[in-house]
Amino acid sequence: MEKRILLSSPTMHGDEMKYIEEAFERNWIAPLGFNCDAFETEVSAYLEAPELHALSTVSGTSAIHLALKLAGLKPGDVVLCSDLTFAATVNPISYEGGVQVFVDSERDTWNMDPVALEKAFEEYPEAKIVMLAHLYGTPSKMDEIVAICEKHGAILIEDAAETLAGTYKGRKCGTFGKYNALSFNGNKIITSSGGGMLVTDSKNDRDKAFFWATQARENAPWYQHEEIGYNYRMSNVVAGIGRGQLKYIEEHRDRKEAIYHRYEEAFKDLPVTMNPYLAESRPNFWLSCITINPGVDVDPMDILEKLTAANVVARPIWKPMHMQPVFAERDFIYVENVPVGEDIFARGLCLPSDIKMTEEEQQYVVDIVRSCF
């Protein structure tokens, strides 16, 4: 196929330009501004949590970093983290000198295993922060996770970068933690080209994060700094893109869901399994993934190679964090004989989930995958 079939690319609608043009007309190009303020308000309204306070940031990673500072992370402190995730979930722990302890996944959602989390608290009773990531748009077992955090007096930070618009028992992801991080990177369900958002139920914490994000400048007539700060402010132009995108988030989710179910139907007679989710949740279906069933002599990397040769973009499952050389010295807590995350990584593949992909193009992908069996 001449046209490249992408994994997950931005889909623009035109509304974004209205907000960008207003920023240009008012010469408000620099960080902060009316688009940032409105984007924060509109995201909070979308999350259906009026008690929440949002802060637009330069990235989802910076939002996680600010959340960790608000949670009181100090050098040497242990943070219990999702293991099967992208590095951005856990890298900011190192920025503050914290120590990652990785917690394995469970098979029902591929997310943090509550049983392994309880085991982690038994081994690290001093841990006071849990960093949870929802994988590929699928909500975690939030009732169990929240209950365990409350039992141990731990602060939950929810990395909802991949699952904005997903819900668990009717409640939107990005509202379960004391601190929550969103991402509007170019491949996410909506994008602002870059950028993220910190969401918390505390206005004081939101204001403290804003202080740090604006270089920790004190209220003085000169440039006074009594703490270390960061340049984590979102651009007013970037926020305008996000505002235009937010209008279409439900449409994007519905189209992602349709892609997932077309794959599911197309592969029902193959020895593969789609990425699972709980009946009481609704994912945003950000990426559709498969795992090859145990005992089947097909390597996901062979499928990836065939797709790549056919001008189709696919990706391996995230390599678990405990397997990354940079975290080789960190502890890893698991309960099954073969760690679940390692197994999913070995047997899994992320398939094109771009909402501009036509049904004919998706069938082209399906035919290539089927040919490998």
pLDDT tens across 50-83, in order?
Answer: 789 999 999 999 999 999 999 999 999 999 999 9
- Which is it for strands 99-103 and 78-82: parallel, antiparallel or unpaired? parallel
Nearest Cα to 19, choosing from 189, 252, 185, 238? 238
Question: Distance (Å, rounded) from C-alpha 179 to C-alpha 99?
Answer: 19
Tokens of 337: 């004989």
Q: Which helix (H) or strand (E) holds 168?
A: strand 167-168
**What Cα–Cα distance (Å) separates residue 57 from each residue in 50, 155, 184, 229?**
20, 21, 10, 13
Question: pLDDT confidence of 365, banded at 50, 70, 90?
Answer: very high
pLDDT tens-digit profile of 192-228? 999 999 999 999 999 999 999 999 999 999 999 999 9
Q: Which helix (H) or strand (E) holds 183?
A: strand 179-183
Q: Can you say whether the dihedral through the CA atoms of 255, 256, 261, 264 is positive or negative?
A: positive
DSSP secondary structure letter of residue 318 = P
Please determine, for residue 30, whether its predicted confidence score (pLDDT) is greater than 90. no
Which residues, at least 6 apart from 50, have a Cβ–Cβ distance to it below 8 Å?
44
Fold of 249-371: Aspartate Aminotransferase, domain 1 (3.90.1150)
Count the residues in the chain: 373
Domain locations in the chain as residue ranges = 15-246, 249-371
By the 8 A CB rule, do 159 and 82 touch? yes
pLDDT tens-digit profile of 96-144? 999 999 999 999 999 999 999 999 999 999 999 999 999 999 999 999 9
Question: Distance (Å, rounded) from C-alpha 320 to C-alpha 83?
Answer: 5
pLDDT tens-digit profile of 257-297? 999 999 999 999 999 999 999 999 999 999 999 999 999 99
By the 8 A CB rule, do 305 and 313 touch? no
Fold of 15-246: Aspartate Aminotransferase; domain 2 (3.40.640)
> What are the backbone angles phi and psi of residue 201, rounded to the nearest 5°?
-90, 0
By the 8 A CB rule, do 243 and 195 touch? no
State the residue for tokens 């069933």: 293
Q: What is the pTM (predicted TM-score) of this model?
A: 0.97
Q: Can you say whether the dihedral through the CA atoms of 211, 212, 215, 216 is positive or negative?
A: positive
